[in-house]
A and B are shown apart, each in its own frame.
Chain A
Amino acid sequence: MFKELNPLLHSELRLAVMSMLLSVEEAEFTYLKQETKATAGNLSVQIDKLSKAGYIEVTKTMKGKMPCTLCRITPKGVEAFEEYVEALKTYINR
């Protein structure tokens, strides 16, 4: 029986962001942009969606005189990611 894949995570950019945040404590917006090669606008929209779902926590701060956006995964996000991977396994092992 196939499990349903979380539509919020089953998108290239959002899944990339969640995968990166899973393996670090926190990451800056610029780092996520550089690693995903996404545009700032698109990445911003996807981060906002993940944040509204409670999967990631976004903190706006200052780095010297420059604004800096920090992202970190929440326990709810980790749980959702684990469920997503479990669901993926049911498709792969069919």
Chain B
Amino acid sequence: MEERKLNEKESLELITQMIQNSKKNLQVGRGNQFILWGWLGAITSLAVMFMLMWTKNPVWNWLWFAIPVIGWPIMMWQLKKAEKPVVTFTDKVLKAVWMSIGSVGMAGIFLMAIYAKNMMLMLPGACILIAIGVFITGVVLDDPKTKTSAWSTLFVIMMASCHIVFMKDHFIWYYIVFSLGFIGMLVVPGYHLNKEAKKHVQGA
């Protein structure tokens, strides 16, 4: 491309082409963070369950903090590795959404750890926050499957946890439900977003 004068038609064509070019190739790996936090949540949930069953000691609930302790450095490494030469408005909006959700979530966990008599509300609370985040991500990226995944999984989790709490069912199911919830709300949309991004790049 050189510094040459264009006619009016060429100008319009160039504007359209450049705007389209700047929209492609920018979404690759977007689902990686969903996959990371989803698997981490699911595995931690099961780990807490096994340790509680094995030792009968509630101190193992502190294992929940393994999620931010392990997840945060890996996420920072992932972000550094995937640093893009361009930042879009979508990136900016999604970063703000997840930073707000992360801050509210962490504050909630700390307050509960200090004041709550039990941590029963922690998992449903975390799931509501995550579902809101995943849903907003779906809205911003205009991806119906991500939106559906967020709300349908949240609905199933809420129904299942109500059943477990009110019917006084085996409490161990609580952890299994939330482990599956992390997979349905984060891991599934994560792989879906990565697949869509790959398709987008190949089609561009």
Contact = CB atoms under 8 A, between A and B. Distances in A.
B21 A11 contact: no
Contact of B3 (A13, A23, A25, A31): A13
Interface residues of B, number: 26
Interface string B1-15: 111111011111011
B18 A24 contact: no
Contacts of B9: 92
Given A10-B5, A36-B1, A38-B1, A88 B11 contact: yes
A38 B2 contact: yes
Contacts of A91: 8
Interface residues of A, number: 31
Interface stretch (B79-87, B131-139, B141-149): B79-87
A88 B11 CA distance: 8
Interface in A46-90: 46, 63, 85, 88
Majority secondary structure of chain B interface residues (helix, strand, loop or mixed):
helix
B12 A16 contact: no
Contacts of B21: 20, 35
18 contacts: A11-B3, A12-B1, A12-B3, A12-B5, A15-B6, A15-B18, A16-B1, A16-B18, A19-B18, A20-B19, A23-B88, A24-B89, A25-B92, A28-B85, A35-B22, A88-B12, A91-B8, A92-B12
Given A19-B15, A35-B22, 19 more contacts: A5-B8, A11-B4, A11-B5, A12-B3, A12-B5, A12-B10, A13-B2, A14-B3, A19-B14, A23-B23, A25-B88, A25-B92, A27-B87, A28-B85, A30-B85, A42-B3, A85-B15, A88-B11, A92-B12
